[in-house]
Amino acid sequence: MGRIKIGGKTQADLDAEKREEERGRVNDESRAYLRDTDWPVIKAMEQWLIETGRLPADFGIERDDARERVKE
């Protein structure tokens, strides 16, 4: 039994393309989620590092000042 081609592609080719498109969609959504949540995670980690003395307090003050300048 021969493989049926649709527009020069087999069903297996079409299925593989569909899986690749779905993988791309999931990757894009995952990247967007990570990008959107990076800021609060980094800020929380920074605060924890300062509170535990692993970063000097003035480090956080300078970074807060820089953040304020970016908002303007």
Q: For 11-68, give the DSSP string.
A: HHHHHHHHHHHHHHHHHHHHHHHHHHHHHHHHHHHHHHHHHTTSS-HHHHHHHHHHHH
pLDDT at 10: 87
Query: Could you list the residue range(s) of the whole structural domain that residue 27 is in?
Result: 5-71
Confidence of residue 63 (pLDDT cuts 50, 70, 90): confident
- In tens, the pLDDT along 9-50 reads 888 899 999 999 999 999 999 999 999 999 899 989 999 999
Confidence of residue 1 (pLDDT cuts 50, 70, 90): very low
pLDDT of residue 3 exceeding 90, the answer is no
